[in-house]
Amino acid sequence: MSMNNTPVQDQTQPITYVGIDIAKDSFQYHFSPKLQGSLPNEPAGFKRLLRLLGEQPVHLVCEATGGYEQPLVVFCLGHQLPVSIVDPARVHHFIKGKGQRAKTDKIDAAMLALFGAENVPDPVAPLSPEQRHLRELSRRRDQLMEIRQCLANQSRGLTLKPLLSDQRKLTREFDRQITRIEEHMEKLISDSEHLRALQALLLKEPAVGPVLSRTLLAEMPELGRLNRSTAPALAGVAPYARDSGNHKGRRFIGGGRPQIRKKLYMAALVASRHHPRLKGIYEHLIKRGKPAKVALTALMRHLIIQLNHNLKNHPKPS
């Protein structure tokens, strides 16, 4: 053991993939058929897992669970343990492909371990404390914006004055909370030389505003280190073929990070009207008979590729 109680993994040994099936209050781990069990989803459980893993080279694999996985992921990164967060849909299809019909936490953990061994998923990139805090604030802002929109939709069906008054009060309170979060995010970026420089580069691109720039910094820290194919795929704006034999199906986008895709759509909408270069691309596609949404998707892809290119030459922090 090192002085900070982090296992020193022997890289000469083969890596063992450990499946972690995470719930709100606990998680199931599968190291091997003889070493599996359940632990509380809290620091005491994480430390217990660390001791159980010992000094063998391991790679943890868990699904994205809407945030329940984040405390364990942060703990693993702090202890130099590689961990991957995989798309639940991919795991679901993988399990179906194995002919596994039964579903329990133990089975899910074992299948996650097998998924890791056969697919070798990329580990989560370590984030600085500033990036972690920025991501948490960004996701909280998105949650509040969704609730605020629900309130606005509900207000359209209200006729009673007391209910309308309550609804307006709630809306104002959400507006105050959203403003406070945005101020926290801007201060966090302003206090970090690296994040401040990245945001300045992002904002140089027409159609990129504060909301998109903050979202990219929070949700896509890899931006600037990707290639022309990976950047759109990660943002969820890469078209996927649906061809079979002589049939040429329509291309669809999907996967990726929905938080980024939503903000890119709004940016593309602005770009289609005002961007000096992307406006021309949009109009050309429309003249060729492309539907407006297809043309906007093309702008989203162009935009994320351009932003990735703009950040490529920016020096990364040591």
SS3 of the chain: the string is CCCCCCCCCCCCCCCEEEEEEECCCEEEEEEECCEEEEEECCHHHHHHHHHHHCCCCEEEEEECCCCCCHHHHHHHHHCCCCEEEECHHHHHHHHHHCCCCCCCHHHHHHHHHHHHHHHCCCCCCCCCHHHHHHHHHHHHHHHHHHHHHHHHHHHCCCCCHHHHHHHHHHHHHHHHHHHHHHHHHHHHHHHCHHHHHHHHHHHCCCCCCHHHHHHHHHHCCCCCCCCCCHHHHHHCCCCECCEECCEECCCECCCCCHHHHHHHHHHHHHHHHHCCCHHHHHHHHHHCCCCHHHHHHHHHHHHHHHHHHHHHCCCCCC
pTM here is 0.76
Per-residue pLDDT reduced to its tens digit, 227-273: 888 888 888 887 765 655 665 656 666 667 888 999 999 999 999 99
Same domain, 213 and 290: yes
Same domain, 100 and 147: no
Domain boundary among 119, 148, 169: 119
Any domain includes 292: yes
Same domain, 176 and 202: no
Any domain includes 314: yes
Q: What is the CATH number of the domain that holds 42?
A: 3.30.420.40
Any domain includes 66: yes
Any domain includes 253: yes
Q: What percent of the chain has pLDDT over 70?
A: 89
Domain boundary among 91, 119, 147: 119
Same domain, 40 and 159: no
pLDDT bin (cut points 50, 70, 90) of residue 2 is very low
Domain boundary among 119, 145, 162: 119
Is the model's pLDDT at 10 over the cut of 70?
no
Any domain includes 310: yes
Average pLDDT, the chain: 87
Which has the higher per-residue pLDDT, 286 or 238? Answer: 286
Same domain, 27 and 138: no
- State the pLDDT at residue 6: 46
Tell me what the mean pLDDT of segment 73-78 comes to: 89
Domains identified in the chain, total number: 3
For residue 298, give its domain range.
Answer: 194-318
